[in-house]
Amino acid sequence: MARRCTFKLELEFPQPLAGVDEAGCAPLAGPVVAAAIILDRDKFPRGIDDSKNLPIKKREALYAKLVKCAAWGVGLATVEEIDRINIYWARMLAMSRAVEALGVEPAWVLVDGNACPRWQRPSKAVVEGDSKCRSIAAASIIAKVTRDRMMADYAVQYPGYGWETNRGYGTPQHHAGLRDLGLTPLHRRSFAPVRAIEQWGAPPDLEIIEISNGESFAPHTPAIESPPREVTQYVVVEPRSAA
């Protein structure tokens, strides 16, 4: 049984403390979605853990409880922004927007990963924070469920790619859809497999990724970071409804 996240790592920091995490860095399609959450340490649902360690039903149940008992915000970076500023900076942008969407300025922010956005607020990056820190794990649940629901909605608009189950990752079904149907406006042109299809009309020989129900992938950090660029703020406070 996986070790549950606790507040132990958070106790040295002042409150209100926000945990931040994102979902959707590795997929070939769809936005990056980040969540920020401030938990009440005296009133929170039991069983909070890294979203990829939770089966779908458990994740959905925890999401339903978290949105009722915690302060939370969701932010996203669009496909267009991903292609313009790269996935690393799009991830940072989505996390910044999530904190801004809280409606409360946290005294401290703990961010999953090895770097924090370029903001002025006190913060610390925690490698594998979603498996160590309860607040970050809670944020991972909000981000994951929100993005999964968005991709299920998009699957209705663009059928044939399997987004309702693969969430835009490079699964065999998704690659088959790319081969048979071509690209959609939600495909990330800056990602090599998508760019190859756009340029040559057929996908190259690729290693197919198999994912489980609780899939999650590490952030995609480029070898050379591009400079940040100013973008118009777009903050999402409420997630889209399930399809």
> pLDDT tens for residues 24-40?
999 999 999 999 999 99
**Residue 112: closest CA among 137, 141, 145, 90:** 137
**Residue 139: closest CA among 214, 238, 239, 66:** 66
CB atoms within 10 A of CB 44: 19
With a pLDDT cut of 70, the percent of the chain lying above it is 81
pLDDT over 60 (residue 145): yes
pLDDT of 210 reads 53
pLDDT over 60 (residue 77): yes
Distance CA 33, CA 141 (A): 11
Paired strand residues for 73:
36
Span 187-209, average pLDDT: 76
Mean pLDDT (the chain) is 86
Residue 62 near residue 46, CB atoms below 8 Å:
no
pLDDT over 80 (residue 208): no
The residue among 125 and 214 whose pLDDT is bigger is 125
pLDDT of 240 reads 39
Per-residue pLDDT band at 200 (split at 50, 70, 90) = confident
pLDDT over 50 (residue 176): yes
**Residue 177: closest CA among 80, 185, 168:** 168
73 contacts: CB under 8 Å, gap ≥ 6: 35, 36, 37, 97, 98, 99, 100, 101, 102, 103, 235, 237
**Residue 219: closest CA among 21, 56, 74, 40:** 21
pLDDT of 2 reads 47
Paired strand residues for 125:
111
Residue 45 near residue 62, CB atoms below 8 Å:
yes
Span 4-27, average pLDDT: 94
pLDDT of 229 reads 39
The two three-digit tokens of residue 94, written as one number: 């989505």
Per-residue pLDDT band at 214 (split at 50, 70, 90) = low
8-154 homologous superfamily: Ribonuclease H-like superfamily/Ribonuclease H (3.30.420.10)
Per-residue pLDDT band at 211 (split at 50, 70, 90) = low
pLDDT of 199 reads 84
Per-residue pLDDT band at 94 (split at 50, 70, 90) = very high
- Residue ranges covered by each domain of the chain: 8-154, 158-200
Distance CA 178, CA 61 (A): 33
pLDDT of 198 reads 86
pLDDT of 10 reads 94
pLDDT over 70 (residue 133): yes
pLDDT of 202 reads 54
pLDDT of 212 reads 53
pLDDT over 60 (residue 107): yes
